[in-house]
Amino acid sequence: MWDSLWLGHVATMTAGGGPYGAIRDGALAIKAGRIAWLGAQSALQDQPEKLATDVFHMREHWITPGLVDCHTHLVFAGDRAGEFEMRLNGAAYEDIARAGGGIAATVAATRAASLADLGAASAGRLKRLMAEGVTTVEIKSGYGLELETEKRMLAAARGLAGDVRVRTTFLALHALPQDYKDNRAAYVDLVCEEMLPALADAGLVDAVDAFCEGIGFSAVETEQLFAAAANKGLRIKLHAEQLSDTGGAQLAARYQALSADHLEYVSEQGIAAMAEAGAVAVLLPGAFYFLRETKKPPVEKLRAAGVKLALATDCNPGTSPLLSPLLAMNMGCTLFGLTPEEALAGFTREGARALGLLGDIGTLEVGKAADLAVWRVKHPAELSYWLGASLLRARVFAGRAFNDA
C-alpha cells in the first residue's frame, strides 16, 4: 500500500524523452517520502483508492518536480528600498555611498542582526518562494565579511530547513570589508586560512562561492580560495562574468565547479571550458533586469556547446530583490530567449544539477525524493507565461503535502 497517489498530468522533466517528459493522465505514487511508482493511470493495477492511503485527484492540472532555486542570498537584514528611491530621485552613486548605502549598508544591518532576527526576516522571504512551489533552496552567506556574522548567516539559513530543503554556500569573497581596504591580500588570507576552515569544520558549508569581478575579487584571489576549498573537499560555484569578462568561467571549470553563475560577458573560451568540465550555467535574469543590463548571456552559444542552463532568482537586496521563481522563468524567456521548457528545466532538473543534487531531486523518477509542485494550469508553458498569477495548487515536500500557495 502506498502512502499517497497523485493523479493528473505529470511533467517528469526527465531529459531525452518528449517535451517536459510529460505523462498525460499520469499517476505518481509516494512511499516513505520517495517516489515509489510513476506511469499512466491506465497502467495502475487496481482502483486508486485500493492502492494508497490518500488519493489526490488533480484532474487536468499539472504535477512537476518541486522547484529548485539554486542561487539566492535570502538571508540578510534590512533592505535597500531607500537607496532605490534615492537613485530614482536622481542621487548619484557617490551620494548613496556617502549615506552608507550599497552592499556596506546590508553588511552593517546584517552584522547588527541576531540569529533570531535573521531567521525571521528570511523566513518571510522563503515563504514567498514556497508559495511558488520551491522545495529546495540554496542560500549564500556573504554579508558578514567576518567570521561570526558569516557563521550566523549560515546557521540562520540552515535553521530555515524543515518543510523545504536548504543548501548553504559560503560566499567567501563577496566584498572587501572597510578595515581591509588597504590590505586585500590579508583579507583573502584570513578568508582562506581561518574563516573557510572554521565554517567547514562547523559543518555549515555545502559549497564555496566568490564574486569574481572588477568590483569584486580578481581571478588570482578567487583561485586562492578555490585551492583552499579543494583542500577541505568542498565543491565550488562562482559569480562569473556578470559585469565584465575576467576569465572566471575558465577558472571555475578548472576547479570542477558545480556551476558558474550570471555569465553575461562570458567568452567563447569560457563556454568551451564549462562544457568540457560539465559546469552548469546559472542564468539570473532578475539581476539583469534590475540593473537594466543590456548585454545578454550568450544563450545560443551555451546551448550549442551543450552547457546545461539553470535559472534562479538571485534574491538579494542590492541587485535582485526578486521573490518569484515564476517571474524569473518569464524573464528567462522574454529577456534571454529561453523556451518555457528550458525555463522549467532551469528551475528543476538543472537547478538540482547546479547543486550536485540531481541524483536525488530535480526530476520525477522512481526512487527520488517525493518533492512535487501541482499547478492550476492546462499546459506547463503557462508557468512561464503568466505574470503575477497565483498558480500553485499544492506543494509536496518529502511526500508531505502542503497548502502554502
Distance in angstroms (rounded) separating the CA atoms of residues 150 and 200: 12
CB-CB contact of 77 with 145 (8 Å): no
Q: How far is the CB of 106 from ligand DI6 (least distance, A)?
A: 5
Least Å from the CB of residue 372 to ligand DI6: 31
C-alpha cell at 373: 509542485
> 224 or 319: whose CB is closer to ligand DI6?
319
Binding at 319: pick from ligand DI6, Fe ion, none (beta carbon under 5-8 Å per type): ligand DI6
User: CB-wise, 149 or 320, nearer to Fe ion?
Assistant: 320
- Count residues near ligand DI6 (CB under 6 A): 10
> Which of 275, 280, 271, 248 minimizes the C-alpha distance to 355?
280
> How far apart (Å, rounded) are the C-alpha atoms in residues 240 and 225?
14
Asked if residue 106 binds ligand DI6 (CB under 6 A), the reply is yes
- E strand spans, 12-154: 22-31, 34-40, 52-65, 67-69, 134-140
In the complex, minimum distance from the CB of residue 83 to ligand DI6, in angstroms, rounded to a whole number = 10
DSSP state of 19: G
Among 316, 324, 330, 363, binds ligand DI6 (CB under 6 A): 316
- The residue whose Cβ lies closest to Fe ion is 314
Cβ 73 to ligand DI6, closest distance in Å?
6
- Binding to ligand DI6, residues 176-235 (CB under 6 A): 211
Instruction: Find the part of the chain contacting ligand DI6 (CB under 6 A) among 93-101, 221-229, 311-319, 396-404.
Output: 311-319
Answer with the entry of Fe ion, ligand DI6, none that 110 interacts with (C-beta below 5 to 8 A by kind). none
Helix pair angle (103-112, 147-159), 10° resolution: 80
Strand 259-262, strand 280-283: pairing: parallel
Q: How many CB atoms lie within 10 A of CB 276?
A: 14
CB of 49 to ligand DI6, least distance (A): 51
Under 8 Å CB-to-CB from 156, ≥6 apart: which residues? 75, 115, 118, 119, 122
Say whether residue 287 binds ligand DI6 (CB under 6 A): yes
Choosing from 206, 209, 314, 350, the residue that interacts with Fe ion (CB under 5 A) is 314
Q: Which does 317 bind (CB under 5 to 8 A by kind): ligand DI6, Fe ion, none?
A: ligand DI6
Q: Out of 61, 165, 235, 239, point to the residue binding ligand DI6 (CB under 6 A).
A: 239
Give Rg (Cα) of the chain: 21
Residue 149 sits in the site that holds ligand DI6 (CB under 6 A):
no
CB of 143 to ligand DI6, least distance (A): 7
Part in contact with Fe ion (CB under 5 A); list of ranges 46-54, 214-222, 310-318, 339-347 = 310-318
Which one, 37 or 84, has the nearer CB to ligand DI6? 84
Q: SS3 of 176, please?
A: coil
Q: Using the rule CB under 5 A, is 69 a contact of Fe ion?
A: no
Closer to Fe ion by Cβ: residue 58 or 283: 283
How far is the C-alpha of 288 from the C-alpha of 269, rounded, in Å?
22
- Going by C-alpha positions, the residue among 201, 113, 123 that lies closest to residue 152 is 113
Which of 295, 35, 127 is closest to 23 using CA atoms?
Answer: 35
- Beta-strand ranges (E) seen in 41-196 are 52-65, 67-69, 134-140, 165-173
The residue within the footprint of ligand DI6, chosen from 318, 340, 351, 362 (CB under 6 A), is 318
Residues engaged in binding ligand DI6 (CB under 6 A): 103, 106, 174, 211, 239, 287, 316-319
Residues engaged in binding Fe ion (CB under 5 A): 314
